[in-house]
Amino acid sequence: MANEVSFSLSMAAVLFALLIGIVSSVKFEELFRPSWARDHVIYQRDLLQLKLDKDSGAGFESKGKYMYGKVTAQIKLVEGDSAGTVTAFYMSSDGPNHNEFDFEFLGNTTGEPYLVQTNVYVNGVGNREQRLNLWFDPAKDFHSYSILWNQRLVVFLVDETPVRVHSNLEHRGIPFPKDQAMRVYSSIWNADDWATQGGRVKTEWSHAPFIASYKAFEIDACECPLPRAAAENMKRCSSGSGGVKRYWWDEPTMLELNVHQRHQLLWVRANHMVYDYCTDNARFPVIPVECEHHHH
């Protein structure tokens, strides 16, 4: 009897998940498709690899578009000499006024630390780069990289540790990415004109192919059926005031970092951040408005 009950409960959970469009799957082909250089996308059971060589890089994208939620991939970056290569894991909407949340992993010569560059585009405008090194070697093993997005925050997480928060400051007249559905993307390409030490270190093609490996994808987000008006998607994907279903990412605990997470973020910023656009006076003689609240 107990088994039947738990089975029907789990079925109910599955149906509920389907109903509200939450997708979570480790199977690549259920969630994603190769987006370019299909012959450089290697897929075996639960492992996906993107290959960069002299001929081409490669990329994949989610089949669906999402508004709010959390996306995660476990990634193992290019081993050994990865100088000149960039591996990106990001979310983006379409069009010239797109919104985008980026993890870009900048390769390095053997023994030098990988740099992680994050960026946030709002209405087509980026220039919000931060760079950090990590507290582990990201080429040695798989680590999880996540983007959490709700109406209040965009949080970049590494192994569940927040490394960056972009807050909604609309009350101060700053636009926040909230009404464009996004796909999830990843790609690897040659960027030796800028990626490593400002472009001084070039890609060493004798070390190719350069391979980034992925597993355990999760998309726990609100899927937006295509095509549909932004306003309709927003209504569908936010919890609303009319007692409409509450999504987990709209729970009060999700709308701000907890004390532990705030301490983690301070630790990351103090020990691992190597560049922050907010403090780059040469580029921004006037501190960008969204930076001010970081420095209270």
10 Å CB burial of residue 245 (0-12, 13-18, 19+) is exposed
Angle at 30 between CA 122 and CA 222, to 5 degrees: 40
What's the CA gap between 132 and 115, in Å, rounded?
A: 6
251 is catalytic: no
Q: Which one is catalytic: 4, 30, 79, 100?
A: 100
Q: Which one is catalytic: 104, 218, 223, 290?
A: 104
Q: Please give the helix or strand (H or E) that residue 56 lies within, else none.
A: none
For residue 82 the two structure tokens come to: 């990865």
Of 161, 163, 176, nearest to 120 by C-alpha is 176
For residue 68 the two structure tokens come to: 């709010």
The CB-side HSE value for 71 (13 A sphere, CA atoms) comes to 27
What's the CA gap between 80 and 83, in Å, rounded?
A: 9
104 is catalytic: yes
Q: Any residues with CB less than 8 A from the CB of 21 and at least 6 apart, and which? A: 222, 223, 224
10 Å CB burial of residue 154 (0-12, 13-18, 19+) is buried
Q: Which residues carry out catalysis?
A: 100, 104
